[in-house]
């Protein structure tokens, strides 16, 4: 008889920024298939998802990945349900209006800071001072400007071994700031993979004495903040070949700016200042190859005859990819072509 460790992972009820929670279920002779993962329960009273007198919440498995850091281990992403089986109010995944064909594709660029647990400063920041100014950290190499590469490389290996569609890593503009990229066909799958990648990232910090800071502007002053740029497309964007169609879809985002910003991450106003490669939170804009616009039309899309994707650069690093994807889908679907 073989035993497997299934790590059930879910989002708690903290608002406006949910946290990852998880617990391990040990099962016998597990097949490795999602359909053989049972619904499980947890104490929602300890995660702001229930009250003490009626605290049971349910965990519904929705995707599964091998756990590369455990023997016979699996990572099980779940949705939180009420005891009657309906989606819990904190269940943002269940509210994604994506079609069965996964017409919407998403590529998220997750930026973050690696923080030293003892100094509570980003890697490369000396106690009581600052490192050299921005300029030499972005995509750098060498011990003077590059901090945390061993950790980042290990995280990349874990994500790839887990079967995530992991597309790349790079050091970002500020010291101790990094980014990884993930792509998936389907909004729910893209969200699942970002949350699993974050789980692996956070769990890895336990071994290094670090923690991850997802705050979009943890270091004030002349330092870049952290975003989670959302690259997205549907069949229309991938095939239309029309500048007019692209501009009409971009323009649809203007009138619902507040609705998007409401789900794009807490403290995002500290990052979206119009400086440090961001658009101002007060002004909506779009443009070709413009990283200071709210929505960037990639140059490759234009060179490919207006067939490709768009990049919403406003989402913050602490945003919920499920909520972000759901809002983007709603806006794009509202366009009458």
| CATH number of the domain residue 132 falls in | 3.30.590.10
pTM: 0.96
Domain count for the chain: 2
Residues 152-173 have pLDDT tens digits of 999 999 999 999 999 999 999 9
pLDDT of residue 310: 98
% helix, strand, coil for the chain, step of 5: 25, 30, 45
Cα angle 286-289-294, degrees, rounded to a multiple of 5: 30
| pLDDT reading at 337 higher than 70 | yes
321-333 and 243-252 helices, crossing angle to 10°: 120
pLDDT of residue 100: 66
Q: Does residue 97 lie within any of the structural domains? A: no
**Whether residues 46 and 83 fall in one domain:** yes
Cα angle 217-259-201, degrees, rounded to a multiple of 5: 40
Give the span between the Cα atoms of 13 and 264, in whole angstroms: 17
Residues 95-111 have pLDDT tens digits of 998 766 789 999 999 99
Mean pLDDT of 212-221: 96
The CA-to-CA distance between both ends of the chain, in Å, stands at 58
Q: Does residue 19 lie within any of the structural domains? A: yes
**Whether residues 185 and 325 fall in one domain:** yes
What secondary structure does DSSP assign to 150-184, as a single string? HHHHHHHHHHHHTT--EEEEEE-SSTTEEEEEEEE
Residues 60-92 have pLDDT tens digits of 999 999 999 999 999 999 999 999 999 999 999
Give the span between the Cα atoms of 273 and 104, in whole angstroms: 29
Nearest to 146 by CA among 162, 122, 182: 122
**Whether residues 132 and 81 fall in one domain:** no
**Whether residues 36 and 168 fall in one domain:** no
Nearest to 297 by CA among 237, 226, 240: 237
Q: Does residue 214 lie within any of the structural domains? A: yes
- Which residues form the domain of 39? 3-91
Under DSSP, is residue 74 helix (H, G, I), strand (E, B) or coil? Answer: strand
């Amino acid at each position: 008889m073989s035993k497997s460790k299934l790590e059930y992972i879910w989002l708690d009820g903290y608002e406006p920024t949910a946290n990852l929670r998880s617990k391990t279920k040990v099962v016998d002779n597990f097949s490795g298939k999602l359909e053989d993962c049972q619904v499980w329960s947890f104490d929602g009273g300890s995660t702001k998802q229930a009250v003490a007198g009626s605290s049971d919440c349910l965990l519904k498995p929705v995707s599964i990945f091998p756990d590369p850091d455990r023997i016979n281990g699996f990572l099980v992403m779940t949705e939180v349900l009420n005891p009657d089986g309906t989606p819990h109010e904190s269940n943002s995944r269940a509210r994604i209006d994506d079609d069965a064909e996964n017409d919407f594709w998403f590529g998220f660029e997750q930026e973050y800071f690696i923080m030293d647990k003892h100094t509570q400063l980003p890697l490369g920041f000396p106690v009581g001072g600052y490192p050299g100014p921005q300029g030499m950290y972005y995509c750098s190499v060498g011990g003077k400007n590059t901090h945390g590469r061993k950790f980042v490389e290990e995280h990349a290996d874990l994500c790839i071994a887990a079967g995530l569609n992991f597309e790349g890593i790079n050091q970002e503009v500020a010291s101790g700031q990094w980014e990884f990229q993930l792509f998936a066909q389907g909004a729910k799958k893209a969200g699942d993979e970002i949350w699993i990648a974050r789980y692996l990232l956070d769990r890895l910090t336990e071994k290094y004495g670090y923690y991850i800071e997802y705050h979009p502007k943890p270091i004030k002053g002349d330092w870049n903040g952290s975003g989670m740029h959302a690259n997205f497309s549907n069949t229309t964007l991938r095939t239309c070949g029309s500048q007019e169609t692209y501009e009409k879809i971009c323009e649809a985002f203007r009138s619902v700016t507040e609705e998007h910003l409401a789900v794009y991450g807490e403290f995002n106003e500290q990052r979206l200042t119009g400086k440090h490669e961001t658009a101002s939170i007060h002004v909506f804009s779009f443009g070709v190859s413009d990283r200071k616009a709210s929505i960037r039309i990639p140059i490759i899309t234009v060179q490919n005859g207006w067939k490709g994707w768009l990049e919403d650069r406003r989402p913050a690093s602490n945003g919920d990819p499920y909520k972000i994807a759901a809002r983007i889908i709603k806006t794009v679907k509202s366009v009458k072509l």
